[in-house]
Structure 1
Amino acid sequence: MTRFRYGAVVAGLAVLLLAAATCAVALGSVAVPPGEVWRILAHRVVPSLVDADWPRVRETIVMDVRMPRVLLGATVGAGLSVCGMALQALVRNPLADPGLLGISSGAGVGAVLVVVCGVTVFGHYSVSAAAFLGGLAALLIVYALARAGGRMTTVRLILAGVATGQVLSAVASFLIVTSDQAQKAQSALQWMLGGLGGTGWDALWLPAAVVLLGTVALLGTARHLNVLLAGDEAAAALGLNVGRFRALLFVLCALLTGVMVAVSGAIGFVGLMMPHITRLLVGANHRRALPVAALLGAVFLIGADLLARTVISPEEIPVGIVTALAGGPTFLWLMYRKGLA
């Protein structure tokens, strides 16, 4: 791929991201003209630049209700996409993603323990810490099961991930239905379906920082990820400590997924679909593919969340349902294409 074509893809996705974010902020039960959205934003950044001639309630809707939600959607979508791309390279499996490998379910169990049972060992960061530990534990279990008895295969990895994820989802459901605190149980149930509602600025900085630093770290390992695509033997022959590298990236992906699950709940299939679309656009070179995957994931989840909160307005569909409806058929198509179904 030429630099010009790659630059055009990145620029096009950046424009699409701005357009999707603008529509997501403008549309809702109270519509705000797109031009006014940008004027409100400009006024907040430089008050003297634009006169505030709009109703105060519109500024509140734009800046305090919708803007944090849209930015969180972009952050989570980008993070899930880059995690999915890294995991697919690590296990050399095009069907791998944080949800399919049980990471999201493990993170869900950790977070539900905090929400429902009140386990607050880590204080204000208990949900994020518990989600990270749960996701890491689930990934290690799936990887160990997939390698048990010999060489890891695509079918074994998928079966181990699906089985582990189902067991962990059952554990989380059991914790919810046996809780004697109805309000917390209802909150945990809504959270398990995935959603970005009720997000404030204070909940945004941690996932944004983690996803940004995690993406930069993955970009730093892009050459090693490319080498892994040729197989463990070829990577080891080129001087890569495959076991250590894979373990470090598993921990990084579990950290990213845990933090995202803590703030948005379990949102599936984003990390499965976006890497495939990315490779169709720019190829498999991770140095180029990871930024494109991040942009695609951000655009997709912003659009999915907009659909989730407007299609049956004033009611709201959990965004995890929307991504599953889009991702389920994609997953079946990939299985069919790879000869697994």
Structure 2
Amino acid sequence: MLRSPGALAGLWIVGLLVLVVSSALVTTIGPSGLTSGDVLQSALARVSGVDSGLSRIQEGIIWNLRLPRTVMAALAGAGLALCGVILQSLLRNPLADPYILGISSGASTGAVLIVVLGIGAGAVGLTTGAFVGSLVAFGFVLLLAFASGGTTDRVVLAGVAATQLFSAMTSFVVYIAADAEQTRGVLFWLLGSLASVRWSDVVVCAVVVLAGLVVCLLHTSELDAFTFGQDAAASLGVNVARIRLVLMVVTALVTAVIVSTCGAIGFVGLVLPHAARALVGNRHRVLVPTAALMGAVFLVWIDAASRTVIAPQELPVGVATALIGVPAFVVLLLRRGRTR
């Protein structure tokens, strides 16, 4: 476990280099003959304003197809890992993440209501619908959990119920109102897809995820206090209600933006915070940026694998993360059972 400032700084520098190199390598994957040198050369040419020497087709493949998708994968991975850290700290439950607690399902329902039923007549955007859906789902989880006792295990059980409820609502809306074309597109999107990402989506997601990261970094001491329970946090001078509200809204907003752009991608917020804790410990001042960085690298490579494992077809990203996340979830359950 890394604790010294020098080791942590070295870890973050190496992580950033790995993210940059991974992004360059992943951008070359596909039937175009591009190399990582071409990607870096094109990026340097954009910055300096000189000619990259690549054809217009190659430039278009890099800047209009692959690079926005790769950057979005990094942002989505960082955002979901960040949400997992927040929820696991606030709820004091190692099994909490946006997917398991139904936030992703609620965001999916809100987005599908906009896409399929046209609620709002164009006045309400996809992200707004997903945000409202995520808030409704999370409010339902908290209401159900605290009405039944308020323990952390009840929160997870309420999240499972919310996931099933909002997934059923989404399926019902698609079944009764969507045509065949909408059904195929929506179902593939709900399983997680980065295929149609544009730079405008990347910009929105980058603003929200980076803002969420800054908010969390400003509240790392409060998150440390929450790991000892609400009463302990209050005794240390933490305004429990205000901090919880702020961080819950951040979680809902980040999840909503990611779901509205990439679909429901599960288990990233569950697995990566635990991997980061094993590396740097429980102090949120170092845990938050480490988990975000690891989540970014993780999802970049998962997306690359989803594009190639059954090529020329594409495996939904949510399916790929579930294949890794479910075994990790089982391991966490077994470990919790043995420590009781």
Q: Please report the TM-score for the alignment, with normalisation by the length of structure 1.
A: 0.95
Q: Is the 8 A contact 1:29 1:314 kept in 2?
A: no
The whole-number CA distance in structure 2 between the counterparts of 1:258 and 1:115 is 15
**Matched residue of 2:177: which SS?**
coil
Deviation at 1:323, TM superposition (A): 0.4
Q: What's 1:220 paired with?
A: 218
Q: What's 2:17 paired with?
A: 15
The whole-number CA distance in structure 1 between the counterparts of 2:148 and 2:295 is 36
Please say if 1:37 is aligned against 2:39: yes
Q: What's 2:127 paired with?
A: 128
Equivalent residue runs for 1:178-217 within 5 Å: 178-217=176-215
Q: Is the 8 A contact 2:148 2:154 kept in 1?
A: no
Q: What's 1:96 paired with?
A: 96
Identity among equivalent positions (%) equals: 42
- Which amino acid in 1 is paired with 2:33? A
Q: What's 2:314 paired with?
A: 316
- Which amino acid in 2 is paired with 1:137? V
Q: Is the 8 A contact 1:90 1:228 kept in 2?
A: yes
Q: Is the 8 A contact 1:107 1:130 kept in 2?
A: yes
Please say if 1:27 is aligned against 2:29: yes
* RMSD, aligned α-carbons: 1.5
Q: What's 1:79 paired with?
A: 79
Q: Is the 8 A contact 1:116 1:185 kept in 2?
A: no
**Matched residue of 1:338: which SS?**
helix
The answer to which of 262-271 and 37-46 deviates more is 37-46
Deviation at 1:53, TM superposition (A): 2.6
Q: What's 2:60 paired with?
A: 60
Deviation at 1:244, TM superposition (A): 2.7
The whole-number CA distance in structure 1 between the counterparts of 2:52 and 2:153 is 59
Deviation at 1:60, TM superposition (A): 0.9
Q: What's 1:114 paired with?
A: 114
- Which amino acid in 2 is paired with 1:260? I
The whole-number CA distance in structure 1 between the counterparts of 2:23 and 2:45 is 18
Q: What's 2:275 paired with?
A: 277
**Matched residue of 1:214: which SS?**
helix
Deviation at 1:140, TM superposition (A): 1.1
- Which amino acid in 2 is paired with 1:57? I
Work out which of the residue numbers 305, 326, 329 in structure 1 matches 2:327: 329
Q: Is the 8 A contact 1:29 1:313 kept in 2?
A: no
Deviation at 1:241, TM superposition (A): 2.2
The whole-number CA distance in structure 1 between the counterparts of 2:315 and 2:107 is 22
The whole-number CA distance in structure 1 between the counterparts of 2:19 and 2:182 is 35
The whole-number CA distance in structure 2 between the counterparts of 1:58 and 1:33 is 11
**Matched residue of 1:92: which SS?**
coil
- Which amino acid in 1 is paired with 2:138? L
Equivalent residue runs for 1:130-149 within 5 Å: 130-149=129-148
Q: Is the 8 A contact 1:274 1:293 kept in 2?
A: yes
Deviation at 1:243, TM superposition (A): 2.4
The whole-number CA distance in structure 1 between the counterparts of 2:53 and 2:218 is 47
The answer to which of 30-39 and 73-82 deviates more is 30-39
Q: Is the 8 A contact 1:77 1:294 kept in 2?
A: yes
Q: What's 1:261 paired with?
A: 259
**Matched residue of 2:337: which SS?**
coil
After superposition, what is the alpha-carbon deviation per residue over 1:105-129, rounded to whole angstroms, capped at 9, x for unaligned? 0000000001111124563x61100
Instruction: Specify whether residues 122 and 274 from structure 1 end up closer, same or farther in structure 2 by C-alpha distance, changes over 3 A only.
Output: farther
The whole-number CA distance in structure 2 between the counterparts of 1:321 and 1:221 is 33
The whole-number CA distance in structure 2 between the counterparts of 1:74 and 1:105 is 21
Q: Please report the TM-score for the alignment, with normalisation by the length of structure 2.
A: 0.96
Q: Is the 8 A contact 1:22 1:37 kept in 2?
A: yes
- Which amino acid in 2 is paired with 1:166? Q
Unaligned residue ranges in structure 1 (runs of 5+): none
Number of residue-to-residue matches in the alignment: 337
- Which amino acid in 2 is paired with 1:192? L
Q: What's 1:6 paired with?
A: 8
The answer to which of 207-216 and 4-13 deviates more is 4-13
Q: Is the 8 A contact 1:41 1:63 kept in 2?
A: no
Q: Is the 8 A contact 1:119 1:126 kept in 2?
A: no
